[in-house]
Amino acid sequence: MKLSDGEKLILIMLSEIHEKLKIENGVDTELVKEAIHSGNLWGMQWAFTGIFHGSEPTEEKLHETVDILDMWSFLERDYEKLSPAEKSRVEKEAEPLGKYVSFCGWDGNGEAEYIGIARFLIERLDRFQEFKGRDLNAHMPTLDSHRRMLNVFAPLRKSLGAGPMKVEDIIEILRARIHPENLKKKATTPGLN
């Protein structure tokens, strides 16, 4: 969704008039104002589908954020369902990242737009509620590792439906999080295998 500065100002003013007159018609004026102020205009399309008649956001970062949150939802949920022996296997085979299978977010400096989109999805649109209340700032770049993981997860996602991932799938996705250069070092350094 694209709005000119004038259209943004008009929507803010109309929202304030709407609130002052205490009109109750299902339009969340706080969401409208927050979407404009935070730069998440796509949120209005998602929240007010009846107004925008099925128009979907096409922004690459929005879709990528949704894909990453979806992947981590599966990972966390399905990891928790594993037996202690399977969790031990994940810890060993996806070392060092197999011990803490938890979504850490994005870098607050270089990847802040992803954090903003995710917060809007979680806090205003009630999507991905399992991440509500979490600090989504990883304090380090994570986008490249999320993308490597998505390359493994995306083909699996189509076949998962509502069923859980196998332990091998979880290990493969978590191993993709490790930078390829570090995997090479691990493979060639004695004692790290």
Domain-by-domain residue ranges, the chain?
5-52, 60-188
Q: What is the mean pLDDT of the chain?
A: 88
- pLDDT over 90 percentage in the chain: 67
**Residue 192 confidence (pLDDT) above 60:** no
> Is residue 65 pLDDT above 80, yes or no?
yes
Which is the CATH superfamily of the domain at 60-188? yfbu gene product, domain 2 (1.10.3190.10)
Q: What b-and-e string marks burial along 53-90, b requiring 16 or more CB atoms within 10 Å of the CB?
A: eeeebeeeebebbbbbbbbbbbbeebbeebeeebbebb
Please give the share of the chain, as a percent, with pLDDT higher than 70.
89
Question: Which CA distances in Å does 137 have to 104, 169, 178?
Answer: 7, 26, 19
**What six digits make up the tokens of 77?**
């949920």
Rg value, the chain, Cα: 20
**Rounded mean pLDDT, 19-40:** 90
**Residues 183 and 151: beta-carbon distance below 8 Å:** no
Model confidence band, residue 58 (pLDDT cutoffs 50, 70, 90): low
* pLDDT on residue 112: 87
Q: Using one digit for the tens of pLDDT, what is the confidence trace for 75-123?
A: 999 999 999 999 999 999 998 888 889 999 999 988 988 998 999 999 9
Nearest to 41 by CA among 25, 65, 58, 53: 58
What is the number of residues in the chain? 193
Quick check: 184 pLDDT over 70? no
Cα–Cα distance for residue pair 95/90, rounded to 1 Å: 8
Task: Kindly state the DSSP code that residue 164 receives in the 8-state scheme.
Answer: P
The reported pLDDT for the residue numbered 49 is 65
141-166 per-position pLDDT tens digit: 999 999 999 999 999 988 877 678 99
**Would you state the torsion angle of the CA atoms of residues 135, 107, 152, 99, taken in this order, to the nearest 10 degrees?**
-50
What is the token pair recorded at 156? 């699996």
Structure token pair of residue 70: 């979806």
| CA dist list (Å): 126 to 47, 67, 129, 154 | 10, 16, 6, 23
Predicted model pTM:
0.75
131-142 pLDDT per residue, tens: 999 999 999 999
What pLDDT score does 50 carry? 66
Q: What was the pLDDT predicted at 2?
A: 85
